[in-house]
Amino acid sequence: MRRVWQLYVAHVLLFVFYAAAIGYVAQRYGHSHLLDEFNVAGLIEQPVATLTQGLMLKFKPLNLDVLPLYIVLMAGFPPLLIVMMRWPNAALAASISVYLSARLFGWNFSAYPSGDWYFNPFTWQLLFTLGAWAALGGRARMQVLARSRAVLAASIAFVVFAAVVTLADRFETTAFLPTGMLEWFVPNDKTNLAPYRVLHFLAVAVIVVRLVPSDWSGLRSAALQPLIVCGQRSLEVFCVGIFLSFVGHFILEMYSDGLAA
């Protein structure tokens, strides 16, 4: 549970400094709309209630949805690990059941002041469980399937198809797609981790396993060391990235007209 505590402390500190930075910039430069845009207006209108809900992970400014999800998943990981060490397939089956039930019955955590969590813990736990299952022997049990040429071809086809649909929707060039197809994928259900997102994750995993050997020397090359360090320091990278995203947004808003001219 030490990691859970570290994540919670990081979230609280990030929450406070992030909200303070947004409030300062909004007041200093007269951009009051940033308070609503980054969902921190509640701290001005009802500071005590909003801060209390923030400490309970129910109130989250814009872009601070990931850490609360991670905290909840990590807090529930010890009992999951105990079960998975003895009955890995049963643990995975239970995770899939929770995922399907959450999508069917609308399970989610409530958010403050209204709505639900943007990343539904009841559905996103499936990816977390899949990772644990693979690390505890599931990967070896799936080697035969992963080495199948048919599975590899299907995985590549699905990833390419997903890229085509995503880009077509983004650039509003969907006329060439069959009628009704786009309705299956747009709007993209990120909150409840749509099944095609899970399939995409599995497809990418199959491609990587097949095309990147585990003993590939490139994984130990100096060029990839920065990426490896970023993965090892993911919490710090995330916190810095949150601040940089706000700074970048503010700079673009301040100087976009001048750049366009």
Confidence of residue 186 (pLDDT cuts 50, 70, 90): low
d(CA 242, CA 230): 15
Of 121, 139, 157, the one marking the end of a domain is 139
Residues 149 and 193 in one domain: yes
Please report whether residue 101 resides in a domain: yes
d(CA 21, CA 254): 16
When pLDDT is averaged across residues 44-69 and rounded to a whole number, the result is: 93
pLDDT tens for 15-53 read 999 999 999 988 888 888 899 999 999 888 898 999 999
d(CA 51, CA 60): 10
- Contact, 133 vs 88, CB < 8 A? yes
Residues 150 and 205 in one domain: yes
- Residue 92: the pLDDT is 94
pLDDT tens for 115-163 read 999 999 999 999 999 999 988 877 777 777 778 889 999 999 999 998 9
Residue 86 has pLDDT above 80, yes or no: yes
When pLDDT is averaged across residues 68-81 and rounded to a whole number, the result is: 94
Q: Tell me the percentage of the chain whose pLDDT exceeds 70.
A: 96
Residues 116 and 172 in one domain: no
Please report whether residue 103 resides in a domain: yes
d(CA 129, CA 149): 26
Least confident of 10-14, 95-99, 215-219: 215-219
CA proximity to 91, closest of 141, 124, 121, 136: 136
Average pLDDT over the chain reads: 88
Please report whether residue 44 resides in a domain: no
Please report whether residue 154 resides in a domain: yes
What burial class does residue 49 get, using C-beta atoms within 10 Å of its C-beta: 0-12 exposed, 13-18 middle, 19+ buried? middle
- Residue 124: the pLDDT is 97
The residue with tokens 């005590």 is 48
Please report whether residue 25 resides in a domain: no
Range of the domain at 197: 142-211
Q: How many domains is the chain built from?
A: 2
Of 93, 114, 139, the one marking the end of a domain is 139
d(CA 207, CA 200): 11
User: How many residues can be counted in the chain?
Assistant: 261
Please report whether residue 243 resides in a domain: no
- Residue 104: the pLDDT is 95
Residues 88 and 122 in one domain: yes
Residues 199 and 158 in one domain: yes
Of 211, 232, 254, the one marking the end of a domain is 211
Neighbours of 19 (CB within 10 A): 24
Please report whether residue 107 resides in a domain: yes
Residues 166 and 200 in one domain: yes
Residues 198 and 157 in one domain: yes
Please report whether residue 12 resides in a domain: no
Residues 103 and 124 in one domain: yes
When pLDDT is averaged across residues 175-198 and rounded to a whole number, the result is: 80
DSSP sequence for 41-70: HHHHHSHHHHHHHHHTT----TT--HHHHH
